[in-house]
Every structure is written in C-alpha cells, then in structure tokens.
Amino acid sequence: MTLTTLVHRFGDPADVVRLETGADPPPGPGAVRVRMRAAAINPSDLLTIRGAYASRTALPFRPGFEGVGTIEALGPGVTGIVPGQRVLPIGTAGAWSQVKTADAAWCFPVPDTLDDHAAATSYVNPLTAILMLREHVRPRPGMRIGIDAAGSAIGGMLVRLAAAAGARVTAIVRHAPGPALLGDLPAAEVVVLPESDADDAHCALRDALAGGGLDAALDAVGGAHGTALAHALAPGGLLVHYGLLSGRPLPPDLQRRRPDIRLVLFHLRAYVHAAPRATIASALAEAFRLVADGTAASPIETVYPLTQIADALRHAERPGRRGKILLAP
C-alpha cells in the first residue's frame, strides 16, 4: 500500500486534494513503477486542481506534473531503462504520490550532477524558459526584452538567460524586490509595477522605459501587466504570453489595438506532446546543464512531507514566497 494524493472535485487546492492509500498494481506493458523522491508544486498544478482545464481533466485524478523518482519495477517489454535509475516521469500528472506508474517512453534519466531538489524543478520552468527563448524570442546583444513576474522561478531564469545572451532586460515585479531577488537579477533594470489598471501600468512602464520600445516581452501575468508589456513593444515587437498569474486574460481586442505586434501563446504541454522524444531529450539535457550551473535553478523555500499536503498547498499560494514548495513523498 502506498500514499497518494487524489482530486475528486475541482476547487481550492488545500480543500480538495485528498491523501489516500491504495495498492499499486505491477506496471503493464511499456510502463514502469517510479518511487517518487521529490515533487514540485507549480502554478499549473494549482490551476488544474481549481478546474481551469476542466474540459481535458477527468475526475478523479492524481495531481503533480513535476517530480523526480527512482525506477522500481519494469513492465513487460521495457528496455533501455533499469531499476534504481533516477528519472523524471513527465507527460502525465501523478507526481504527488509515493509511487507513480508511468509510460517508460516518458521517463528521462537525470544526471548525478543534480540533487533531488534540483532535479524535481528541472523540467517545467527550465524547459519552458529555454524553448520560449530559443524558438520565439531569440535574444541577441542589445535586444530590449521585458519580462514580468520577474520574481517568479521562471521569471528569474528568463532574466538570467536573456541577460547572458547580451539582451537589455527590463524585469517587472509587482512589489519592491528584496536584496535576494535583486542579487538574482543581474544586468536587469527592475521596474516595480503595482497591480493597478491597465492604463496606469501602461503609463508607468512607458515612463520607466524612458522612450524606445521593447523588441520582445514575456508575459506570465496577463491583465494589467501583460497589457502594459504589449503596449510597450516597438512596432514589429513580439509578445510571448505564457501564464495568467493575475487571473485576468489579455484584452480580447489587443491584436486589433496593436496590429503591428506579433502575439505568441506558449504551452509547454502542447510542445512536449507534439515534439519527437529526441527533441525533448536534447532540450532536457540543456535544462539539466543550466539548472546545475544555477542559470535555470529554482530557489526552494520549504520541503513538506506528503502527509502535510494541505499545509504545503496553502504555503504555495502565499504572496511574497521566495522559492518553490516541494513535497517529499
């Protein structure tokens, strides 16, 4: 019998994520049983539990899109992977459990250079940051790039990666950053933009940029910040919209009001489910390297045992958090 979390109805994560015990049957053909070692709580988990993707989420489900574990048993026909190997079982949820049964083809070995906490945060945000920059933004020296939610885990990665490529980065945060965050945002001009209405944010950002538009912007907030970034773009600029931290969408008429900018929506899930395995493996190899050297590392605030899942979920939704909340199954 193992411990797992289950969601039977959508709602407030701390209320609806239930801890249950269950038998884990031996893995079927092509599958493996993974003994989970650490798992991350990410905004996409919380959105899914709240029902944001209800049309493609069948109840009940095991939550947790990101975590690292050790291969414990192989189903019939599985080759190329051995018991005892540490892997990221991606492509499906179920990481907030002591044991996850996964398709062997979706298990990617993790290098020894990463400890369990680094490995448990080496997929969702690092891969998204790498892919958005590589496939869409293509930062180059002197390019002007705006990044909102710069205090988030992925915001920090984007700032560091874009700055390392020589871009001039404007990092937007919703409240004054502490010294830890400022130290983490090298070479970036930090703009504090309170969550006011779109027009206020637009003017404040334009003033902060002191003339000259952005060449590209990465928006994880939507609402006022996303709109302000869109309006701060120079003609021909690119807005990559990849998150909705404010809970408010971009204005539906944004493209009509700024017909001269390009708007791209990025979803890691859509990317990995369409990409060949070799492409994912090579992007993950880059992610592992950048996590190990710190560029795509996530600060960790606290690790909770799985038995304290409700406390962990409440902590994950607390404003002003300075790192990821992990679960140790």
| Measured distance CA(316)–CA(132) in Å, rounded | 25
The residue (of 227 and 246) whose beta carbon lies closer to ligand NAP is: 246
For ligand NAP, give the closer residue by CB, 149 or 254: 149
Question: Which CB atom, from 61 or from 266, has the smaller least distance to ligand NAP?
Answer: 266
Q: Report the C-alpha dihedral over residues 129, 105, 285, 142, rounded to 10 degrees.
A: -30
Q: Give the separation between CA 137 and CA 162, rounded to whole angstroms.
A: 9
Q: Which residue is nearest to ligand NAP (CB)?
A: 243
Three-state secondary structure call for residue 219? strand
Q: Rank residues 98 and 184 by Cβ distance to ligand NAP and give the closer one.
A: 184
Distance CA 54, CA 37 (A): 28
What residues line the site for ligand NAP (CB under 6 A)?
42-44, 124-125, 128, 149, 151-154, 174, 195, 220-221, 225, 242-246, 266-268, 319-321, 324
Nearest distance, CB of residue 242 and ligand NAP, angstroms: 4
Nearer to ligand NAP, 76 or 178 (CB): 178
Q: Which is nearer to ligand NAP, 99 or 150 (CB)?
A: 150
Residue 155 beta carbon to ligand NAP: minimum distance, rounded to whole angstroms: 6
CA dihedral 112, 118, 120, 123 (to 10 degrees): -90
- Smallest CA-to-CA distance from 119 within 36, 6, 32 is with 36
31-41 and 17-22 as β-strands: parallel, antiparallel, unpaired? unpaired
Q: Give 15: exposed, middle or buried? Use CB within 10 Å, 0-12, 13-18, 19+.
A: exposed
Cβ at position 186, least distance to ligand NAP in Å: 18
Q: Give me the least distance between CB of 148 and ligand NAP, in Å please.
A: 6
Reading the block at residue 36, the tokens are 């989970």
**Nearest alpha carbon to residue 87 among 73, 101, 68:** 68
CB of 20 to ligand NAP, least distance (A): 26
Shortest separation between residue 172's beta carbon and ligand NAP, angstroms: 8
What residues does 38 pair with on adjacent strands? 68
